[in-house]
Amino acid sequence: MSALANTRFLKMNGLGNEITVLDLRGTATRVSAGEARAIAADPRSHFDQLMVLHDPVTPGTDAYLRIYNTDGSESGACGNGTRCVAWAMLSDPAMSRPAGASLLLQTKAGLLPVERLAEDVFAVDMGPPLFAWQEIPLGIPFPDTRTIAVAPLPGLPELQGPSAVSMGNPHAVFFVADATAYDLSRIGPVLEHDPVFPERANISLAQILAPDHILLHVWERGAGQTRACGSAACATLVAAARKGLTGRTATVTLPGGDLLIAWRDADDHVVMTGPIALEHEGRFSPALFAAVA
């Protein structure tokens, strides 16, 4: 039987970005790719990202997070999910709650300071963006990643020359006249797996509405089209500012709602502010993992 059988979970969302939070602190249990896919397949616990809390590995941090996509692959960062974890750790009576209104969380991409601004609103310091082609990573050297080359899409010659940025995971941002004019379910998988992205990439279609306002639609690697993606919103603001299309602070409007993104001058960090919502809690049925090897 899976060690996850009967384990409690929280089903949450950040602007409609479906998040499941699982607290495995105090145990040696790890989630396998197959178990993550099984959790995603259950409508009660379906997620775009599964946020799994483990005991801290670095002194001074509150928890270590492993982040899973619906296909069982791991991600280095999830801003919407991090806000949900912060709410759970600071608000959920069933969890061991740190004192105060701030946390320091860690993922494989680095440290994520989180601050509570209101009951359901949190600001996450997503760290500095990475621009070097080998850091993103890209499979081909590009001296300037404000514009890179991808394979042409038949019938869509305008979808060329995206900006590439890493915000803990790789992002390709296409600036378009109308972010709603494309079928992301068709073009997203093709662009995600373009050979220039050896670790695949999150694909964003961004429409500049004003110097401080961006409309964004996102295809997430390993998850598909989602109603919101916090790291993509951060990558998009950074890419837009690098091209002189916006300032360093903007509201990013996604299908699920608005995020405020600020790329700080002082330390080069990107801060994302937005809300969360708790949908329900439950426990995993043992039968859920029956087919998992």
Q: Kindly list the catalytic residues.
A: 78, 229
The answer to whether the CB of 162 falls within 8 A of the CB of 131 is: no
Q: How far apart are CA 229 and CA 55, in angstroms?
A: 26
Count H helices and E strands in the chain, helices first.
4, 17
Long-range contacts, 139-147 (Cβ 8 Å, 24+):
139/195, 139/196, 139/197, 139/198, 140/196, 146/239, 146/242, 146/243
Q: How far apart are CA 163 and CA 38, in angstroms?
A: 34
- CA–CA distances in Å: residue 87 to residues 44, 45, 67, 123, 276: 20, 18, 16, 11, 8
